[in-house]
Amino acid sequence: MFNDATILITGGTGSFGHKCTEMLFEHYSPRKVIIFSRDEFKQYEMSLLFPTDRFPNIRFFLGDVRDKDRLWRAFHGVDFIIHAAAMKQVPAAEYNPTECIKTNITGAQNVVNMAADRGVKKVMALSTDKAANPINLYGATKLCSDKLFVAANAFVGSSKTRFSVVRYGNVLGSRGSVVPLFERQRETGRLTVTDPRMTRFWITREQGVQFVLRCMENMLGGEVFVPKLPSMNIMDLAEAIAPGCAVDITGIRPGEKIHEIMVPAADSRRTLEFDDHYAIMPDDEDLAARMRGKGKNVPDGFEYESGTNPWKLGCEELRTMLENM
Q: Is 42 helix (H, G, I), strand (E, B) or coil?
A: helix
What is the CA angle 39-40-41, rounded to 5?
95
Long-range contacts (CB closer than 8 Å, 24 or more residues apart) made by 217-221: 217/1, 219/122, 219/124, 219/162, 219/164, 220/162, 220/164, 220/287, 220/290, 220/291, 221/153, 221/162, 221/163, 221/164, 221/287
Query: Residues 6 or more apart from 14 whose CB is under 8 A from it?
Result: 37, 84, 85, 174, 175
Burial of residue 168 (number of CB atoms within 10 Å: 0-12, 13-18, 19+): buried
DSSP type of residue 297: E
Any idea what DSSP says for residue 138?
H
Of 249, 228, 210, 215, nearest to 23 by C-alpha is 210
User: Alpha-carbon distance 178 to 174, whole Å?
Assistant: 9
Phi, psi of 300 (to 5 degrees): -60, 135
Nearest alpha carbon to residue 147 among 267, 49, 308, 2: 267
Evaluated on CA atoms 315, 131, 127, 268, the torsion sign reads positive
Active site residue 130: yes
Report d(CA 7, CA 129) in Å as an integer.
25
Query: Considering 19, 88, 122, 130, which one is annotated as catalytic?
Result: 130
Residues marked as catalytic = 130
